[in-house]
Amino acid sequence: MNYPLLPQERLPQSESQDRLRRCREQLRLLPQKVAGLLVFSPLNIYYFSGTLGSGLLWIPIEGQEVLLIRRGLERALSESSLQSIVPFRSYGDISALCKDAGSPLPQDKGSAVAVEMTGLSWSQAELFTSRIGDLQYIAGDSALKMTRMLKSAWEINKMRQAGKLHEYCLCQELPKRIHTGMSEWEIATIVHSLLLEQGHCGFVRTTSPNYAELEAICIGETGLYPNSQDRPLGVRGMHPATPTLGDRATVWNKDQLLVVDALFSWEGYCTDKTQCYWGGNTQPPDSVLRAQACCKTIQQEAAAMLKPDTLPSQIWTMAQEMAAQNGYEDNFMGAGRDRARFLGHGIGLEMDEFPALAARFDMPLVAGMTLAIEPKIALAGIGMVGVEETFLVTPSGGESLTGDGAGIISVA
């Protein structure tokens, strides 16, 4: 049966070509000379082509890129502006198809090509290399990271829209829809529904294989729950098989902390934001307000440092020093042995992009990067306080895309 392909927004051809140009620049900086890059993951194929393709993309250093599609050829032709899009069935077909398209793979024995090594499983990689000639394969993942970390005006506009809706949902609308007496699960269903109402796509991609991020809803000390994910907020979640959203048995009571750590994805591009709420029309205790104020100050100082040429590691060092000066050295960015060792992370098509605000990240920031900054402090018997906003690196410092934060919102 043939279904009509309705028109949708296309990745602009100029956008696609600029990304390919910048990727080729990064490939030329690899330690070894390569003939081009083979891209396998659907998301990176989308980044360059505008279609979430099932197949691979060949980006030669010189010549025209070739998108090889295993399934959904008509969809790829409808969505992508690339000039060379061809069907294939087997990895053994690739060399001939690229040659026929005018952009052959290198033919000399031992010639080097860069490969997106995280885009294939071990078994798939063995199958691929067995079907292609005697080439030398060089990791090209760093070139992809470096290309994607800089956002164009087109991408930033999508993230601005995500951030605007994100702030509305968590700071303006959600306090009207939740109340004490609800469980984490009940609050999670309201949060997710609210985000969907405003255009959120329903999930957010991460760099971890086979993992999509949903909201984290934590009441009281569930925010300190032992964590298997690299994040400061501990999330008990629904079940050991699905440690996300919230627990059905944990109920929000008066004078208790609620933390909502949520992402908003608008047309593929996401922002990250954390908002704290206090149960009842009372003011949180001084210990909570003091820790929250420390987190906000750290975030403000970090945002001021989001300028070109600042080293991410410098921002991490500053944050650690400020936390220690305020007495939070041992409970900054989490509880116990699973504390997070970063202050923030790059964000865009995936939640956890390059770079991280962490030790040994010594490549200077560049205008156009987008990062989430999320200082948090673990308080025994209370939970995890903190803030998180998504920022754009600019010459004058970080510009928040998700608002300035509303402090701790009291909800009856």
The segment(s) of the chain belonging to CATH 3.90.230.10 are: 153-411
Tell me how far apart the alpha carbons of residues 85 and 412 are, in angstroms, rounded to a whole number: 57
Most confidently predicted of 213-222, 225-234, 283-292, 401-410:
283-292
Question: Range(s) for CATH 3.40.350.10 in the chain?
Answer: 13-148
CATH homologous superfamily of 13-148: Creatinase/prolidase N-terminal domain (3.40.350.10)
State the first-to-last Cα distance of the chain, in angstroms, to the nearest integer.
Answer: 54
pLDDT value at 242 more than 90: no
Across all residues in the chain, what is the average pLDDT?
Answer: 94
pLDDT classification of 330: cutoffs 50, 70, 90: very high
Mean per-residue pLDDT, 323-350:
94
Instruction: Please name the helix (run of DSSP H) or strand (run of DSSP E) that holds residue 376, with its range, or none.
Output: strand 376-379
- What are the respective helix, strand and coil percentages of the chain, to the nearest 5? 35, 25, 40
Does 279 have pLDDT greater than 80? yes
What are the tens digits of pLDDT across the range 36-82? Answer: 999 999 999 999 999 998 999 999 999 999 999 999 999 999 999 99
Per-residue model confidence (pLDDT) at position 317: 98
Residue (of 230, 218, 386, 394) closest to 299 by Cα position: 386
User: What average pLDDT does range 284-308 have in this prediction?
Assistant: 98
pLDDT in the model for residue 227: 80
Please check whether residue 11 is in contact with residue 39, taking contact to mean a CB–CB distance below 8 angstroms. Answer: no
Q: How far apart are CA 145 and CA 29, in angstroms?
A: 13
Q: Mean pLDDT across the stretch 137-160?
A: 97
DSSP 332-375: BTSSGGG--SEEEEE-SSBSSEEEEEETT--SPP-TT-EEEE--
Q: Can you tell me which residue has the tokens 């993309």?
A: 57
- Using the predicted structure, report yes or no on whether residue 341 has a pLDDT greater than 90: yes
Q: What percent of the chain has pLDDT over 70?
A: 97
The residue with tokens 């690229």 is 98
| Top-tier CATH class for 153-411 | alpha beta
In this structure, of 85-99, 179-193, 210-224, 302-316, the range with the lowest mean pLDDT score is 210-224
3-state DSSP call for residue 182?
A: coil
pLDDT at position 61: 97
